[in-house]
Amino acid sequence: MTEPHSSEALKRFLNTLRAGEVRTGRVISVEGLEVLVELDGFPGPGKAVGRIPRDDLNRRAIGHPPEAVSIGQRLTFEVTAVDWQQERVRASTSGAPN
């Protein structure tokens, strides 16, 4: 998976996100024990990416993320933090509404 392009547009978009905010996006990758989602609402160029660790993916215990999601699936998730160094959002689906 290539890293999202760093841009002023991405930085501005990330600056609008707040912990506790509910967002939507599409699963674009499953890497190890986490799922990467492309966040809706980013006008580009590039992608705004959220990372959901396995333990924050589902209310029930799962062994591996593909047991709970698939590539292309739409998710609703809660923003838990913005990782400015990696220019990614940390998120959780376990507390987000269905």
Residue 3 has pLDDT above 80, yes or no: no
Examine residue 57 and state whether it is found in any structural domain, yes or no: yes
Examine residue 34 and state whether it is found in any structural domain, yes or no: yes
Examine residue 29 and state whether it is found in any structural domain, yes or no: yes
Nearest to 58 by CA among 83, 41, 81, 33: 33
Q: What is the pLDDT of residues 24-43, one digit of tens each?
A: 999 999 888 889 999 999 98
Q: What is the pLDDT of residues 53-94, one digit of tens each?
A: 877 776 554 554 556 688 999 999 999 999 888 888 999 986
Coil vs helix vs strand at 14: helix
Examine residue 98 and state whether it is found in any structural domain, yes or no: no
Examine residue 21 and state whether it is found in any structural domain, yes or no: yes
Q: What is the CATH number of the domain that holds 72?
A: 2.40.50.140
Does the pTM surpass 0.85? The reply is: no
Count of structural domains, the chain? 1
- To which residue do tokens 């160029």 refer? 45
Strands (E), 32-73: 34-39, 49-53
